[in-house]
Chain A
C-alpha cells in the first residue's frame, strides 16, 4: 500500500521535530528512515500510525487522506521499539488481541482466531511459545511475538520502530534476513526507523536520511553511500575522514595538511565553483607507501589485518586517519607517504 507524505511538519514546543517532509513510498517497498537520535524519524513513524499528529502537511495511505482517521481505524501494523507486549497476556492472547477487539460483525469465530494465531506463530518460528507470558521469553522471541501481533490484523503497511535496537548482534543479523524475507513473502509495504546505517543498507530498497527534522536524501543504499547529497549525509554514512581543503585551478589543495593535491578528474563529486570545501575520504580510499623519514608525510600508528586488508590508524600531522590499505610492508611505527585516491567535496 503506497504512502504519500506532503509538506509534513511537527513542532514540540519550540523544537521543530519535522519540517517539510516529502516522501513517497511505493506499494511493496521496504524503506528505512535513517538518522541520528533526535532527527525526527520516530515522530514521522508515529504520525503515519496516527499516534501523533502533524501541525501541517498531508499523509495519504493507499490513496486515502489520513486526516482525522484515528490510529485504530488505520489498520497499520506497528512494531514498537520495546515491543510493548501486553504483559498480563500469554503470547497467544497477545497475537489474538487485534482479532478479538473487532466488532462482533467482523470478528472471526474463535476457531478461526486460534487457527490464524497458530499459523502466524508457526510462520514466526515460535509455535511452542503460545502459552508463555512475555516476561518468560527472550528478547528475540519477544520481537517475533510483536511482529506476529502486528501482522495478525493483516496490515497492508508495516511500521517498525528500531526493530532490532534491543537485541544483541548475533540475534540481530539472523532476524534481519528473516524480516526481509517475510516482507517479500507477505507482499508488505514496510517502513522502519533505525540509527544503524549498516542495518538500513542491508535491509532497505531505499534509505531516507533524516537530518534535524528534514529529509536530507532519499535514494537506494548504493546511491546514498556513493553520492551523498550533502556534507551531513557524507559525514553520517560510510565512516569518512572529514578534511578542510581548498578547491582551485582544477585541483583540491589540502594545505596546511601535508597531503598531495588531487586533480578534479579524480573526485567522485565536487562543487562547480572554486572555494573552500570539506573533503570526505573513506577508509578504503587511502593509499600509503613506505617512505624515508625525509619524504614521509605521515606515520603508521597501528595496524591490524582485516579480511586480507590492513586496517590502519595513520597519524597525519595532528589528525588520525582511519585507512583500509592493501596488505603491504608497512608496520606500526613506519613512516609513510599517505595520499587520497579520491574524495567527495562539499562547499564549506
Chain B
C-alpha cells in the first residue's frame, strides 16, 4: 500500500513538473508575444499590421508557402514512394539526402543558393545576361524554403508506408487496377492522415523559416521580406509593438496549423 501511494505521489510530481515546463517554456513566450503586441491596446497593433510593408511581408509569406507546400507534397510523396516500394542502388543514399536539410544549418541552406545563383555565383553571370534574378528575389526565397521544408512530408510518410507494405497495392494490381488507380484508390487513402499532417508541418515551417530565407532575401522592404524577416527589422528598429503584432499573427498562423493537425490526427486515429 505504502509503495503504491508513494509511486502515485511520484507520478503526480512528475506530471506537475511536465506541465510546469510546458507552461514555462512554451506557453509563457507565446503569451509574452501577445502581451507585447497589445501593450498599447489593439489599435496600434492593428495599425502595425495594416502598414504596407507589413502587408507585403504577409502576402509574400503566404505566396512562398503556397508554392513550396504543393511542390514538397508531390516531391515528398514521390520520394517516400520510391524509397518504400522499390529496392535500388543508392536507396540508402537517397534516404540520407532527404534528412540533409534537417542536419544542415539553415544559413548554409540559404548560402548554397547564393553560391549557385548569386551575381558572383556559378550560374550568376549567365542568369544576369538574360535578366533573370534568383537570389534577392522571389525565386530565391522559394528555393531556400523548398530545400529547408523538403523532409517534412517524406519523413512523415516513409515509416508508415514501410509498415503498411506493398501488399494492398499488389492486391489492387491483381484485381486489374492501373498504377494511377492503385495510387488514388488504395495508396493515398491509406496514408491520407499522415500526408495531411506532414503537409501542415511543412506549411508551418515554410511560413516560419528565418535563417535560409534571411540569406537569400536581401531584405528589401515591401519586396523580399517575409514575415519573420520583417519582424526582425522592426525589432531592430525598436518598433516593438509592430514587431510583436506581426509575430503574434505568425504565431497564430502556426497555432491554427497545429490545431488543424491535431484535429486531423484525432479523426484519422493516427494513421
Binding site for B on A (CB under 8 A): 49-51, 70-78, 80, 82, 84-89, 97-98, 101-102, 149-150, 152-153
Q: Are A98 and B176 in contact (CB under 8 A)?
A: yes
Q: Are B174 and A49 in contact (CB under 8 A)?
A: yes
Minimum-distance CB pairs A-B, first 5? A98-B175, A84-B167, A78-B174, A71-B173, A84-B171
Interface residues of B in 137-167 (CB under 8 A from A): 167
A130–B111 Cα distance when bound, in Å, is 58
A71–B172 Cα distance when bound, in Å, is 9
**Chain A residues whose CB sits within 8 angstroms of the CB of B173 once the complex forms:** 50-51, 70-72
**Chain B residues whose CB sits within 8 angstroms of the CB of A51 once the complex forms:** 170, 173-174
Q: Are B171 and A101 in contact (CB under 8 A)?
A: no
**Chain B residues whose CB sits within 8 angstroms of the CB of A153 once the complex forms:** 175-176
**Chain B residues whose CB sits within 8 angstroms of the CB of A72 once the complex forms:** 173-178
A70–B176 Cα distance when bound, in Å, is 9
A341–B111 Cα distance when bound, in Å, is 87
**With A86-B186, A101-B181, A101-B185 given, is the CB distance from A150 to B174 under 8 Å?**
yes
Q: Are A71 and B174 in contact (CB under 8 A)?
A: yes
Across the interface, A97 reaches (CB within 8 A) one of B167, B178, B185, B190, namely B185
Interface residues of B in 162-200 (CB under 8 A from A): 167-168, 170-178, 181, 185-186, 189-190
Q: Are B176 and A80 in contact (CB under 8 A)?
A: no
**Minimum Cβ distance to chain B for residue A68 (Å):** 15
**Chain A residues whose CB sits within 8 angstroms of the CB of B178 once the complex forms:** 72, 101
What 1/0 mask marks residues of chain B from 215 to 257 whose CB sits below 8 Å from any chain A CB? 0000000000000000000000000000000000000000000
**Minimum Cβ distance to chain B for residue A306 (Å):** 40
A77–B173 Cα distance when bound, in Å, is 11
Q: Interface residues of B: mostly helix, strand, loop or mixed? A: helix
Q: Are A80 and B171 in contact (CB under 8 A)?
A: yes
Give B189's nearest chain A residue, CB to CB: A88
A88–B185 Cα distance when bound, in Å, is 10
**Minimum Cβ distance to chain B for residue A52 (Å):** 10
A86–B174 Cα distance when bound, in Å, is 13
**Chain B residues whose CB sits within 8 angstroms of the CB of A78 once the complex forms:** 170-171, 174
**Chain B residues whose CB sits within 8 angstroms of the CB of A84 once the complex forms:** 167-168, 170-171
Q: Are B186 and A77 in contact (CB under 8 A)?
A: no
Q: Are A101 and B170 in contact (CB under 8 A)?
A: no
Q: Are B177 and A97 in contact (CB under 8 A)?
A: yes
Q: Are A82 and B174 in contact (CB under 8 A)?
A: no
A72–B172 Cα distance when bound, in Å, is 8
Q: Are B177 and A80 in contact (CB under 8 A)?
A: no
Give B169's nearest chain A residue, CB to CB: A84
A256–B149 Cα distance when bound, in Å, is 75
20 inter-chain pairs at a CB distance below 8 angstroms, sorted by A residue, are: A51-B170, A70-B173, A71-B174, A72-B173, A73-B176, A74-B174, A76-B174, A80-B167, A80-B170, A80-B171, A82-B167, A84-B167, A84-B171, A86-B172, A86-B190, A89-B189, A97-B177, A98-B176, A101-B172, A101-B176
**With A101-B176, A101-B177, A149-B175 given, is the CB distance from A71 to B190 under 8 Å?**
no
Question: What interface size band does chain B fall in?
Answer: 10 to 19
Interface residues of B in 96-121 (CB under 8 A from A): none
A153–B177 Cα distance when bound, in Å, is 11
**Chain A residues whose CB sits within 8 angstroms of the CB of B167 once the complex forms:** 80, 82, 84
**Chain B residues whose CB sits within 8 angstroms of the CB of A82 once the complex forms:** 167
A74–B176 Cα distance when bound, in Å, is 8
Q: Are A101 and B174 in contact (CB under 8 A)?
A: no
A335–B186 Cα distance when bound, in Å, is 66
Q: Are B174 and A97 in contact (CB under 8 A)?
A: no
**Chain A residues whose CB sits within 8 angstroms of the CB of B171 once the complex forms:** 78, 80, 84-86, 149
Across the interface, B170 reaches (CB within 8 A) one of A71, A74, A88, A149, namely A71
A144–B177 Cα distance when bound, in Å, is 21
Give B164's nearest chain A residue, CB to CB: A87
**Chain B residues whose CB sits within 8 angstroms of the CB of A76 once the complex forms:** 174
Give B171's nearest chain A residue, CB to CB: A84
Across the interface, B174 reaches (CB within 8 A) one of A77, A85, A87, A102, namely A77
**Minimum Cβ distance to chain A for residue B160 (Å):** 12
**Minimum Cβ distance to chain B for residue A158 (Å):** 11
Extra inter-chain contacts (20) besides given A72-B176, A86-B185, CB under 8 Å: A49-B174, A50-B174, A51-B170, A51-B174, A71-B170, A71-B173, A72-B174, A72-B175, A75-B176, A78-B170, A80-B167, A84-B168, A86-B168, A87-B190, A88-B189, A98-B176, A101-B175, A101-B178, A149-B175, A152-B175
Across the interface, B175 reaches (CB within 8 A) one of A50, A70, A88, A97, namely A97
Give A73's nearest chain B residue, CB to CB: B176
**Chain B residues whose CB sits within 8 angstroms of the CB of A49 once the complex forms:** 174
**Chain A residues whose CB sits within 8 angstroms of the CB of B185 once the complex forms:** 86, 97, 101
B167, B176, B186 — most chain A CB neighbours (10 Å): B176
Give B168's nearest chain A residue, CB to CB: A84
Q: Are B170 and A102 in contact (CB under 8 A)?
A: no
**Minimum Cβ distance to chain B for residue A277 (Å):** 45
**Chain B residues whose CB sits within 8 angstroms of the CB of A101 once the complex forms:** 172, 175-178, 181, 185
A76–B173 Cα distance when bound, in Å, is 10
Q: Are A97 and B170 in contact (CB under 8 A)?
A: no
A82–B171 Cα distance when bound, in Å, is 11
**Chain B residues whose CB sits within 8 angstroms of the CB of A86 once the complex forms:** 168, 171-172, 185-186, 189-190
A84–B171 Cα distance when bound, in Å, is 7
Q: Are B172 and A97 in contact (CB under 8 A)?
A: yes
A85–B174 Cα distance when bound, in Å, is 13
A149–B186 Cα distance when bound, in Å, is 14
A82–B173 Cα distance when bound, in Å, is 16
**Chain B residues whose CB sits within 8 angstroms of the CB of A87 once the complex forms:** 168, 190
